[in-house]
């Protein structure tokens, strides 16, 4: 197990679509363990393959560990199969864009389908922060970043930081 270097914006790898995971190998188990280590060390609550330079459709998340109850989840080939009409607006951080909080509006609830490390297909209705986190991580697999979705007011407020990084 190892802590991997996190790819930082505006690295081009963050903009490329990730490829489907073809099969669950030992290498993938090792990668998932390293990604969880990296996420916990950062510290963060979600991390996607492209953020460690791996352009595969994998993300890890644990939305409860900072409250003292770890619940690590490894999602392979995730897809959103249903999203609520209800929306939620909140500030999102990203380990690849340190120091920037993007105020983003997204569906408040989603149904996520994914393959787990045992190769089993999983499906779960996610609400609250878990729903937001999963959507943020899945966006990474499509080369999309939370700063692409941020509303106008927060874009203005954050523009000095973003223009310094070449985003605005």
Closest CB to Zn ion among residues 94, 134? 94
Residue from 146, 153, 142 nearest 9 by CA: 146
Catalytic, 92? Answer: no
Token pair, residue 157, equals 């407020």
Shortest distance, CB of residue 119 to Zn ion, whole angstroms? 26
Shortest distance, CB of residue 140 to Zn ion, whole angstroms? 6
Closest CB to Zn ion among residues 68, 145? 145
Q: Is the peptide bond before 43 cis (omega within 30 degrees of 0)?
A: yes
In residues, how long is the chain? 168
Say which of 92, 124, 137, 152 is annotated catalytic: 137
Piece of the chain touching Zn ion by CB under 5 A; list 26-34, 73-81, 87-95, 116-124: 87-95
- The answer to the question of residue 100 lying near Zn ion (CB under 5 A) is no
On whether the CB atoms of residues 10 and 100 are closer than 8 A, the answer is no
How many residues of this chain interact with Zn ion, rule: CB under 5 A? Answer: 1
Shortest distance, CB of residue 118 to Zn ion, whole angstroms? 26
- The answer to the question of residue 94 lying near Zn ion (CB under 5 A) is yes
Closest CB to Zn ion among residues 36, 94? 94
On whether the CB atoms of residues 146 and 133 are closer than 8 A, the answer is no
- The answer to the question of residue 132 lying near Zn ion (CB under 5 A) is no
Alpha-carbon separation of residue 93 from 2, 11, 24, 113, 125 (angstroms): 23, 17, 30, 24, 23
Question: What's the number of CA atoms in the CB half-sphere (13 Å) around residue 25?
Answer: 6
Active-site positions read 137
Site residues, Zn ion (CB under 5 A) = 94
């Amino acid at each position: 197990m190892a802590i991997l270097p996190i790819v930082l914006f505006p690295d081009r790898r963050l903009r490329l679509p990730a490829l489907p995971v073809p099969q669950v190998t030992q290498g993938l188990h090792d990668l998932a363990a390293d990604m969880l280590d990296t996420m916990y060390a950062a510290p963060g609550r979600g991390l996607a393959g492209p953020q460690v330079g791996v352009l595969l459709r994998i993300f890890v998340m644990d939305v409860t560990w900072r409250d003292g109850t770890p619940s690590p989840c490894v999602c392979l080939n995730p897809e959103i199969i249903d999203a609520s009409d209800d929306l939620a607006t909140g500030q999102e951080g990203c380990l690849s864009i340190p120091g920037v909080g993007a105020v983003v509006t997204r569906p408040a609830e989603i149904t996520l389908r994914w393959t787990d490390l045992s190769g089993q297909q999983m499906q779960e209705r996610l609400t609250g922060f878990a729903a937001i986190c999963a959507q943020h991580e899945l966006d990474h697999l499509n080369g999309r970043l939370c700063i692409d979705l941020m509303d106008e007011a927060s874009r203005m407020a954050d523009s000095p930081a973003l223009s310094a990084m070449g985003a605005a």
